[in-house]
Amino acid sequence: MGRLTGKYTLITGGTSGIGLATAQAFLAEGAHVAVTGRNPETRAEAQRWLGDNAWVIDADAGVIGAQQQLADTLASRWPRLDAVFINAGDVTHGTLESWNEQAWDRLMGTNLKGPFFLIQALLPLLNNPSSVILCGSVSAHIGLPTSSAYAASKAGLLSLARTLSIELLPRGIRVNGLSPGPVATPALGKLGLDDDAQRALQSEIAKLVPLGRLGTPDELAKAALYLASDESTYTVGTELLVDGGTAIGR
């Protein structure tokens, strides 16, 4: 039997990168898997990668009304949720001068406000016991230039993991944070850089990591699998840093 056999699992932002790798890991361990994404091209590609055993849902993590709609969609087909990995995120970085209110609100809506109201909407579906994993970031721990808004959103999300871990524990819901360090994902390709510039950027990012390299989506998927499975039943309200030592190296 797999480590998630028979469990109903949701991964937001599950159509690429860490989310897609986690969906593949969950499927391999016997879970029923639903993933969300807002880009029709990446949703179609994810469906090809994951096959008919996965449920790919159109949902925007930053639209508050969409969170209840997602919960209703899941409830129409599934009896419960055993594990949720809230992974969708806006990774926009910029200098302090470059931010405006609209961009700030969009980032906070996706990274903090949306997850809060998604958990609220999912409460009737969450099983006793179940696991909720919030994807933070090592950026919440280090003073990285141009990361101010992003890091603030992830610090708020990790605080939410701690407080909800106590509030929801009587319902049998364990809440934990999972914080990646620099990881080689398609998000790096959204910065508008040519191939040479992107390789140079990855080389500079790798210098922040004591291990000397970027992480892989599969390495984060293994950590998410641990937090979703019964192996972590004594793990509550903590943050699992999978960052190659970045937090201690700064």
Catalytic residue among 8, 150, 226, 234: 150
Task: Report the length, in residues, of the chain.
Answer: 250
Tokens 């939410």, residue?
A: 160
Q: Is 188 exposed, middle or buried (0-12, 13-18, 19+ CB in 10 A)?
A: middle
Contact assessment for residue 50 and residue 23, using Cβ atoms and an 8 Å cutoff: yes
Strand boundaries in 38-144, DSSP class E:
54-58, 81-86, 126-135
Cα radius of gyration rounded to whole Å, the chain: 17
| 226 part of the active site | no
CA distance 243 to 66: 31
Q: How far apart are CA 95 and CA 173, in angstroms?
A: 38
181 φ/ψ angles, rounded to the nearest 5 degrees: -90, -160
Contact (Cβ atoms closer than 8 angstroms) between residue 86 and residue 118: yes
Helix (H, G, I), strand (E, B) or coil at 143: coil
Task: Give, for 33, the enclosing helix (H) or strand (E).
Answer: strand 32-37
Residues carrying an active site annotation? 150
